[in-house]
């Protein structure tokens, strides 16, 4: 061998070693190794594989993590049950495939395959979707996607092979520092009509509702169409669930955490952190069958468990002590062909019962489904199997109905078998609960509540008449009452002297700003806690109802410590672009909480710059819930004859027709974003050459042609907005603004009643009261 050849080979060997050490290659071939400190990186640099120690642990594991994000987030671990105690480990492709050896050259982990191996061509490759694949002559013989840990990536499957019985499921880590198998698993249950279940130590913990052709029933927010596509496939060979990212530049994962929560998480580049897009197990009603047979859970009620209409507690004594596991029983028995016969009560707004003991047919019509259920005395309920194209297929339940809960956004109809005697009751065709034994209590409570309100209002009116310059200050504590009964809300009261002392006698130096009720002051209580104090103004355009509404909602939502207020004019010089972006993102996350993640669904209805408070760290807090409305049950939208809001921020469908939904807040948020970016108010901005407001000016500047055809349904949800803010590649093409006023209006005028249409030559809404 000549000197030149030797030098070339030497340099080539050094180069290969360097590439391997620096993560410059994505494969390991026969007899190549990865030592502790070396990594391989997928071709697009999405994922990296090597040795790591989780959290505070000193143990070493082989794992795969995201390459492009700052937080080391591991998505797969090879030797989760056999950690290395030091850095002597070596991963290699050997005669038996992929193997992990310790310092004594002992194999402590290897891939498990029944495929025969031709070792001369064996190669392991880390793909750009996070899958580690071992191939023999281009034939895949093993992949990490078949052995997941606590993370489901785009393209992975949770599955059950009906021919071999092999199941692929998620298993939580034991702790954040220990990736060994924890107590929680997410798996496919093939019995009846297949479903996804979460188990804790083999005991059912929570359940995804039956697949309806689009998503899991009871989980309408599992994933946005703009972000994911979902599949749940059931055939004679296998059952599996998977999701695919619409935009592969997004970073997203489904994570089963050590505490059992199941979350769809997206990486937010702006904050360098993970954001939760949806949560499968967010509250007590997610616990499997918590209310027993024929019981229904409603997280907004106290107690949360009740019986379905036509049923009563199986064991009333247990229900009194809040033990609902015995469930409910029918008040009247089914006739099943005797007497007047049975019928069906149609109920919507709920998560369908457990389908573990059910039967399904994909080709039957709903009418045929009803007939099939009626003919079988064991059939307790029926529903459409697939909601697409108006509904198709048949799903029949047998035995008791288990694990039912009320859900705001669920619109599918469940047809429950009932005796004819129950169907003649006035509430039989509506969702309801058996309240026979509770009627007297409710009537008495309501009567006492009404008397209490009258007494309070009378005392307050008398007090206010004698002390017109003094104001009552109340701060919310914990509210466990239903909407509309603020008189039952537990409040912590503060004396006027204490409030005056905390605000330095309502000093002008403590004034933070002013809202619909009146001025807002910064106060410091005796324990050092900083608070915001609202002082009701004599000239306030909002009254007792709005005050009650705000106290009730803030108490439930726990929005507190709102300490500093800046509008766009006074604060623009202090807000550089990163701060403005963080404020926008924080507002979006706050709205997402109100619309989706809180136990109440709240429509704010008055989103504007002056209702965003900033703390000392410039973190935004949404305030002023006086006009907010809570949605109950299955409601997702509503109409009102009393339009309330602020000119320039309200969407057209609300201003013109009194129609509002979560999309109303999305419109207002969009206007607010424009104001923050431009540093100008929408209603205060005016361009004579275009005769337009700020929104109109943006339209002319960006969208030069076309009609204003945007509808409320065209606007994204706030979960999509949060994701878009975290990744510019998720931004869809812009649509045109829906409402452009073409006449100058005084700044921040408010609408307190309507809706009323004005002349088309003037403006499209009538403004009655100014704020």
The answer to whether 155 and 134 are in contact (CB under 8 A) is no
Last residue of a domain, one of 402, 417, 432: 432
Contacts of 685 (CB under 8 A, 6+ apart): 678, 693, 694, 697
Question: Which of 606, 624, 665, 692 does the annotation list as catalytic?
Answer: 606
663 inside domain = yes
Report the distance separating Cα 381 and Cα 321, nearest Å: 30
For residue 328, the SS3 value is strand
CA-closest candidate to residue 733, choices 752, 710, 754, 756: 710
486 inside domain = yes
Give Dmax (Cα) for the chain.
110
Q: What is the CATH number of the domain that holds 249?
A: 2.90.10.10
Torsion region of 442: left, alpha or beta (phi above 0 gives left; psi -120 to 50 gives alpha): alpha
The pair of structure tokens assigned to 192 is: 């009846």
Please write the tens of the pLDDT for every residue from 35-58: 999 999 999 999 999 999 999 999
SS (H, E, C) 468-522: CCCCCCEEECCCCCCCCCHHHCCEEECCHHHHHHHCCCCCHHHEEEECCCCEEEE
479 part of the active site: no
pLDDT number for residue 638: 78
Last residue of a domain, one of 404, 432, 460: 432
pLDDT band at residue 425 under the 50/70/90 scheme: low
Q: Distance between the two ends of the chain, CA-based, in angstroms? A: 92
Residues 104 and 153 in one domain: yes
Helices (H), 344-410: 366-375
How many CA atoms are closer than 13 Å to the CA of 651, on its beta-carbon side?
28
Report the distance separating Cα 560 and Cα 32, nearest Å: 58
pLDDT number for residue 437: 36
pLDDT band at residue 739 under the 50/70/90 scheme: very low
pLDDT number for residue 497: 79
Report the distance separating Cα 312 and Cα 307, nearest Å: 6
Last residue of a domain, one of 563, 596, 617: 563
Q: Where are the beta strands (DSSP E) in 36-152?
A: 39-41, 47-52, 61-66, 74-77, 90-94, 97-101, 107-110, 122-126, 132-136, 139-143, 151-152
Residues 138 and 265 in one domain: yes
Contacts of 30 (CB under 8 A, 6+ apart): 93, 94, 119, 120, 121, 122, 123
704 inside domain = yes
Residues 289 and 248 in one domain: no
Residues 308 and 265 in one domain: no
SS (H, E, C) 202-240: CEEEEECCCECCCCECCCCCCCCCCCEEEEEEECCCEEE
Average pLDDT in the 674-690 region? Answer: 69
The answer to whether 754 and 768 are in contact (CB under 8 A) is yes
The answer to whether 392 and 384 are in contact (CB under 8 A) is yes
Report the distance separating Cα 455 and Cα 78, nearest Å: 69
pLDDT band at residue 256 under the 50/70/90 scheme: very high
Burial (CB count <10 Å: 0-12, 13-18, 19+), residue 382: buried
Residues 312 and 408 in one domain: yes
The answer to whether 587 and 612 are in contact (CB under 8 A) is yes
The answer to whether 245 and 154 are in contact (CB under 8 A) is yes
pLDDT number for residue 546: 66
Structurally, how many domains does the chain consist of? 4
pLDDT number for residue 222: 60
Residues 56 and 198 in one domain: yes
Cα distances (Å, whole numbers) of residue 523 to 515, 518, 677: 17, 16, 31
pLDDT number for residue 460: 45
Q: What is the four-CA torsion angle of 12, 16, 19, 20, rounded to 10 degrees?
A: -170
Report the distance separating Cα 530 and Cα 732, nearest Å: 41
For residue 318, the SS3 value is helix
Residues 555 and 575 in one domain: no
Burial (CB count <10 Å: 0-12, 13-18, 19+), residue 371: middle
pLDDT band at residue 539 under the 50/70/90 scheme: low
Report the distance separating Cα 59 and Cα 83, nearest Å: 6
Contacts of 281 (CB under 8 A, 6+ apart): 198, 205, 206, 260, 261, 262
pLDDT number for residue 752: 40
pLDDT greater than 50 at residue 439: no
Report the distance separating Cα 306 and Cα 297, nearest Å: 7
What's the distance, CA 701 to chain centroid? 35
DSSP lists the bridge partners of residue 511 as 521
Report the distance separating Cα 465 and Cα 453, nearest Å: 18
Among the listed ranges 19-28, 469-478, 725-734, which one has the minimum average pLDDT value?
469-478
CA-closest candidate to residue 676, choices 579, 594, 564: 579
pLDDT number for residue 234: 94
How open is the CA angle 243-245-249, to the nearest 5 degrees? 155
15 inside domain = no
CA-closest candidate to residue 150, choices 48, 59, 75: 75
CA-closest candidate to residue 749, choices 647, 607, 611, 610: 647
Average pLDDT in the 571-585 region? Answer: 78
709 inside domain = yes
The answer to whether 473 and 533 are in contact (CB under 8 A) is yes
pLDDT greater than 80 at residue 767: no
Residues 474 and 620 in one domain: no
7 inside domain = no
Average pLDDT in the 308-317 region? Answer: 93
Q: What is the CATH number of the domain that holds 755?
A: 1.10.510.10
What angle separates helix 577-592 from helix 662-678, to the nearest 10 degrees? 170
Q: Phi and psi for 51 in degrees, rounded to 5?
A: -90, 145
DSSP lists the bridge partners of residue 110 as 99
Please write the tens of the pLDDT for every residue from 745-758: 334 434 443 333 32
Average pLDDT in the 592-616 region? Answer: 82
CA-closest candidate to residue 407, choices 669, 263, 125, 216: 216
What's the distance, CA 581 to chain centroid? 22
651 inside domain = yes
Q: Any idea which residue has 């807000």 for tokens?
A: 575
Residues 125 and 209 in one domain: yes
Long-range contact set of residues 223-230: C-beta below 8 Å, sequence gap at least 24: 223/264, 223/277, 223/278, 224/277, 224/716, 224/717, 224/719, 224/720, 224/723, 226/716, 226/720, 226/730, 226/732, 227/252, 227/266, 227/277, 227/720, 227/723, 227/730, 228/252
For residue 754, the SS3 value is coil
The pTM assigned to this predicted structure is: 0.61
pLDDT greater than 70 at residue 435: no
For residue 129, the SS3 value is coil
pLDDT number for residue 549: 63
199 inside domain = yes
Report the distance separating Cα 59 and Cα 76, nearest Å: 16
pLDDT band at residue 189 under the 50/70/90 scheme: very high
Report the distance separating Cα 365 and Cα 345, nearest Å: 18
For residue 313, the SS3 value is strand
The answer to whether 606 and 646 are in contact (CB under 8 A) is yes
Residues 220 and 197 in one domain: yes
CA-closest candidate to residue 109, choices 150, 143, 81, 135: 81
Residues 41 and 66 in one domain: yes
Cα distances (Å, whole numbers) of residue 240 to 20, 95, 186, 190: 36, 33, 12, 10
Report the distance separating Cα 414 and Cα 163, nearest Å: 33
The answer to whether 31 and 23 are in contact (CB under 8 A) is no
Q: Phi and psi for 28 in degrees, rounded to 5?
A: -125, 125
Contacts of 179 (CB under 8 A, 6+ apart): 54, 61, 63, 74, 77, 80, 149, 150, 173
Report the distance separating Cα 258 and Cα 271, nearest Å: 24
pLDDT greater than 50 at residue 239: yes
The pair of structure tokens assigned to 24 is: 């410059």
Q: Which domain holds residue 289?
A: 285-432
Average pLDDT in the 314-319 region? Answer: 91
Element housing 3 (H / E):
helix 3-21
pLDDT number for residue 23: 39
Q: Is the peptide bond before 615 cis (omega within 30 degrees of 0)?
A: no
| More confident site: 514 or 195 | 195
pLDDT band at residue 409 under the 50/70/90 scheme: confident
Average pLDDT in the 145-170 region? Answer: 96
Residues 538 and 575 in one domain: no
pLDDT band at residue 540 under the 50/70/90 scheme: low
How many CA atoms are closer than 13 Å to the CA of 304, on its beta-carbon side?
21
| More confident site: 309 or 686 | 309
The answer to whether 381 and 425 are in contact (CB under 8 A) is no
Report the distance separating Cα 586 and Cα 718, nearest Å: 12
pLDDT band at residue 389 under the 50/70/90 scheme: confident
pLDDT band at residue 699 under the 50/70/90 scheme: low
**Burial readout 328-348 (b: 16 or more C-beta within 10 A, e: otherwise):** bbbbeebebeeeeebbbbebe
């Amino acid at each position: 061998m000549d000197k030149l050849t030797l030098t070339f080979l030497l340099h080539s060997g050094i180069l290969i070693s360097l590439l391997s050490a620096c993560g410059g290659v994505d494969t390991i071939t026969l007899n190549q190794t990865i030592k502790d400190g070396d990594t391989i990186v997928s071709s697009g640099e999405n994922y990296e594989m090597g040795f790591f120690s989780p959290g505070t642990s000193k143990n070493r594991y082989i794992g795969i993590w995201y390459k492009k994000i700052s937080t080391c987030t591991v998505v797969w671990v090879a030797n989760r049950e056999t950690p290395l105690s030091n850095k002597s480990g070596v991963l290699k492709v050997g005669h038996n495939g992929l193997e992990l050896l310790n310092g004594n050259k002992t194999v402590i982990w290897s891939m498990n395959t029944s495929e025969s191996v031709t070792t001369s061509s064996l190669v392991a490759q880390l793909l750009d979707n996070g899958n580690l694949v071992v191939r023999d002559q281009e034939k895949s013989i093993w992949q990490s996607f078949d052995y997941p840990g606590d993370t489901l990536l785009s393209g992975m499957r949770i599955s059950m092979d009906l021919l071999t019985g092999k199941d692929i499921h998620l298993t939580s880590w034991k702790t954040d520092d220990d990736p060994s198998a924890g107590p929680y698993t997410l798996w496919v249950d093939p019995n009846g009509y297949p479903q996804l279940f979460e188990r804790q130590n083999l005991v059912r913990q929570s359940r995804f509702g039956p697949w309806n052709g689009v998503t899991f029933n009871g989980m309408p927010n599992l994933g946005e169409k703009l972000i994911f596509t979902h599949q749940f496939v059931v055939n004679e060979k296998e059952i599996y669930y998977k999701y695919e990212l619409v935009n592969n530049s997004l970073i997203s994962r489904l994570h089963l955490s050590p505490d059992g929560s199941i979350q769809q998480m997206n990486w937010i580049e702006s904050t360098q952190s993970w954001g939760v897009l949806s949560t499968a197990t967010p509250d007590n009603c997610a616990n499997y069958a918590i209310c027993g047979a024929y019981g229904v859970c409603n997280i907004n009620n106290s107690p949360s468990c009740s019986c379905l209409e036509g049923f009563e507690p199986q064991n009333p004594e247990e229900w009194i002590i809040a033990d609902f596991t015995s469930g409910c029983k029918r008040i009247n028995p089914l006739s099943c062909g005797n007497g007047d016969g049975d019928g069906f009560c149609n109920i919507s707004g709920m998560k369908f019962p457990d389908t573990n003991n059910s039967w399904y047919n994909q080709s039957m019509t709903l009418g045929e489904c009803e007939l099939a259920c009626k003919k079988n005395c064991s059939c307790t309920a029926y529903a459409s199997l697939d909601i697409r194209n108006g509904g198709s297929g048949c799903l029949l339940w047998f035995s008791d109905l288990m694990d039912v809960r009320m859900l705001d956004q669920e619109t599918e109809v469940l047809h429950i078998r009932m005796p004819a005697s129950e169907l003649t009751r006035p509430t039989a065709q509506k969702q309801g609960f058996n309240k026979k034994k509770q009627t007297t209590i409710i009537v008495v409570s309501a009567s006492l509540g009404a008397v209490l309100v009258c007494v309070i209002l009378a005392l307050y009116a008398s007090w206010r008449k004698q002390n017109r310059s003094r104001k009552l200050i109340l701060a919310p504590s914990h509210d466990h009452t239903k909407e509309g009964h603020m008189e039952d809300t537990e409040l912590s009261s503060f004396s006027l002297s204490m409030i005056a002392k905390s605000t330095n006698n309502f000093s002008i130096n403590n004034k933070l700003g002013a809202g619909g009720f009146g001025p807002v002051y910064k106060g410091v209580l005796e324990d050092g806690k900083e608070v915001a104090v609202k002082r009701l103004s004599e000239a306030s355009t909002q009254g007792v109802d709005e005050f009650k509404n705000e106290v009730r909602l803030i108490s439930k939502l726990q929005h507190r410590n709102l300490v500093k207020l800046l509008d766009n004019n006074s604060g623009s010089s202090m807000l550089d672009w990163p701060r403005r972006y963080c404020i926008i993102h924080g507002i979006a996350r706050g709205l997402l909480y109100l619309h989706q993640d809180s136990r109440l669904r709240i429509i704010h209805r008055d989103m504007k710059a002056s209702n965003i408070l900033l703390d000392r760290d410039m973190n935004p807090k949404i305030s002023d819930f006086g006009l907010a409305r809570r949605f109950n049950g299955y409601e997702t939208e509503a109409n009102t004859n009393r339009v309330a809001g602020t000119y320039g921020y309200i969407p057209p469908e609300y201003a013109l027709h009194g129609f509002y939904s979560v999309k109303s807040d999305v419109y207002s948020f969009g206007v607010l974003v424009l104001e923050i970016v431009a540093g100008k108010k929408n209603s205060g901005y005016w361009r004579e050459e275009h005769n337009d407001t700020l929104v109109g000016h943006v339209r002319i500047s960006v969208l030069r042609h076309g009609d204003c055809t945007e509808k409320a349904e065209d606007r994204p949800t706030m979960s999509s907005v949060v994701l878009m803010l975290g990744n510019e590649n998720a931004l869809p093409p812009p649509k045109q603004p829906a409402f452009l006023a073409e006449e100058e209006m005084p700044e921040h005028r408010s609408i307190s009643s309507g809706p009323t249409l004005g002349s088309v030559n003037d403006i499209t809404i009538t403004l009655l009261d100014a704020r």
